Amino acid sequence: MARALVVYESIFGDARKIAEAVAEGLKGSHDVDVVAASEAPHEVDVDLLVVGGPNHGFSMPRESTREGAVKQYGAVVEDTKHGLHEWLDAVRLAQGTRAAAFDTRSDHPKLLIKMDHASKTEEKLLKGLGATLVADAEHFYVTDAKGPLVDGEEERASQWGRSLAGKVS
């Protein structure tokens, strides 16, 4: 069976739930592992790599925004120095890796949600690693900074996972 890896960063748990739902969608056709970026391997050889995490300050989380989440929202973050961006900076992908990116973001204000932030950077980093993007990035919405996800987003993430599986099979 084809192999897939879903790597996520999540401060409050919403992007983790999306990562797990995407994996559910892939399961019919792929052996799937879901891992936090802090625990992900630095050499990856899979048929499909999916990465995702929250928008922080109009981009991917970084040390200063993780510290901001701790100070401003009482988040518990064991290691503010390492997350998805840092993993993508260090990982090596097998030649021919196919990939897709997602992010989680606020569902308001309307102008903000239309802008491409974290997932744009994720896609740029994936391309820099030589990966081929198999689909446009997908965005999943939370009702507030600490979540929860908007109703139906996990189901939508599973469907997106199924559609990714269809694109690479």
Which residues would be at the binding site for ligand FMN (CB under 6 A)? Answer: 10-15, 54-58, 65, 68-69, 73, 104-106, 112, 142, 145, 147
Return all residues near 90 (Cβ < 8 A) that are at least 6 apart: 42
Cβ 100 to ligand FMN shortest distance, Å: 17
Helix (H, G, I), strand (E, B) or coil at 49: strand
Whole-number minimum distance, CB 156 to ligand FMN, in Å?
15
- Which residue, 69 or 91, has its beta carbon nearer to ligand FMN? 69
CB 10 within 8 A of CB 51: no
Given a contact cutoff of 8 angstroms between Cβ atoms, the answer to whether 18 and 140 are in contact is yes
17 versus 98: smaller Cβ distance to ligand FMN = 17
In whole angstroms, how close is the CB of 118 to ligand FMN at the nearest point?
A: 8
Q: Which residues pair with 56 in a beta bridge?
A: 59
